[in-house]
Structure 1
């Protein structure tokens, strides 16, 4: 028996299973449409991050294999995205142009059945979301190598929006050109954060080539696609989109480099069962002020997962402190702890409660 004869019954099984999957997908979509009709009656939001987080966690818990749970979650993310789009396509603002890591984060959070709005700056993402042009915005908030994205922190302080989700993605920078070589290259373009994350590698391999900071790595890839004398540092997706050749892959100094992103909008998610709350506060300028401010978290058994200080540019205090804690603000112990923190703070702002990233 030849190979084709052996494969024929297996392929027939796959075809039959595919037909079942297609039927079940459309059955799910019809139920999702009914959910949409109920939501429309009460003007409920199309996207519920806490519900989708619960579905994805349950999928991972129930997965018997051999498929990897992370891969199964990606499949279900796209299923939910497509079903959600039957109600209405969610619009999401991101740092463009196409091919940036921020765009990649958008698809990881919302799936591909959305309408993306490319923005030239983090400020524009906030403006588009505040104006209602976009339902949500996705902004970088922290990098494992370079630390906090200060512009995002400053804008979170000022905005009327809140954080409704977070996610973290690996950041693999590639050096790319039109030709796939460095012949004739006179400048290397990238976002300032990317240049900093690749500084040691660039110093070692191309110390004499000019480095130009641009609005985003996607913009760098676009420039390199049009200028044969320009190289770009960007992700693989950007390289494919702009038909660039990779001179050297993974040129970031830290092989474990990751960037954390925040989803901003007017939606305030309900508790999902595994949540995080973000806040920012300032303290009076006196000894022990920060310690005393954080004491309510310990006394109420609330775990702090992040603590970041930022010099204050306005007000009478010297620093703002950005803090993440485990739990939702509607959780009683978190609520009581934050009320005490607020009472003792010179400045206090709740930034959002949202599901932990998967």
Structure 2
């Protein structure tokens, strides 16, 4: 009988506990919902209302700070820099050589080179281009003075052409690939022995190449790479040729022996139709059973049409050595 009363009271106590816990959870849930509702009411998602309002004193201090900042700005200097920028930009726009005009000059240079004998050397080519440049420069100056000429240069192009062929000639010739070897003439004395011929041949910088190098200016020979030029640099064409000769002497049986050397003497790098950027002093050692040319003297007009980055003149120096 006592066990029955205790069991009944135990069940009642359990029910009361459950009701109390549930009631507490409901109260907490209602409190959380009220808090969320209050937050949404106080901070609505609207661009027209802000979550924080500055006091009048804070706004006044911010305005004073902005006034001080504006007063401390070097307005005169900023204005002067802006004017200079506009001036330089307009000058560059006026003096820039249009692409169509650049192509016209390049085609005239090519026509001048084509008119030369096939056996013309680099010195002859340089003299021909220099003669053409002086002639065109004279025409441009006459057009600037208002004279009427039968010229390929239009009167409105005269100023740009004159600048391109005078003060900007070095940059223009480099851009279109007119690399010319440096002339180095070493004389012990100014008095020349009787019967000695004048030495006016242009040579590459560095030591004079031996006859077995068979150096050819503005030439690029094909062949299998014995030594990868991208990671093989030499101070001069002489050193590149000697490296080829040395490799051929040291090559083991069955290994390719270098019989072609290709060197980049241009300080701005040398063009090639591959994906690599070829830099000054690259020295390629190659082998070919029957050496054949990739390019010689100039890139053809049709080739430059399909390869817009190609310059006019081949920048490489090559040679097929005797081994």
TM-score range, shorter chain: under 0.3
> By percentage of residues, which structure has more strand?
1
Q: What is the TM-score normalised by the length of structure 1? A: 0.22
Q: Which has the higher contact order (CA 8 A, sep 6+)?
A: 1
- Greater gyration radius: 2
Q: What is the TM-score normalised by the length of structure 2? A: 0.24
> By percentage of residues, which structure has more helix?
2
